[in-house]
Amino acid sequence: MVTGNTVRLKASFYSFADELADPSDVVINIYAHINKKLIQTGTPVKESTGVYYYDYTIPDDVDGDLVFEFIGTLEDMPTVARQRIEKGWLQ
């Protein structure tokens, strides 16, 4: 496993009208997949309307896959974009 590498995690948010839209209170959470333990929380960078990214450096103590989720509130409803980073990416 290659630790110390930085990956850019991205998410796009869409309104119910299927247009890119900015949620409020956007945060990113990163979890260890194996036990769903929260590893890190952060504030993503807005790239453009509805598009956010977060640069994450893989820590030395990661064992197995990771899961990241971008969370916010859009149109008065919670919204979550979640994806898995497979260990194969990290090797």
The full 3-state SS of 25-76, as one line of letters, equals EEEEEEEECCCCEEEEEECCEEEECCEEEEEEECCCCCCCCEEEEEEEEECC
- Is 42 inside a domain boundary? yes
Tens of pLDDT, residue by residue over 8-20, are 999 999 999 999 9
CATH for 39: 2.60.40
Domain of residue 50, residue span: 6-90
Residues in the chain: 91
- Is 38 inside a domain boundary? yes
Tens of pLDDT, residue by residue over 42-73, are 999 999 999 999 999 988 777 788 999 999 99
DSSP conformational letter for 88: H
- Is 1 inside a domain boundary? no
- Is 56 inside a domain boundary? yes
Number of domains in the chain: 1
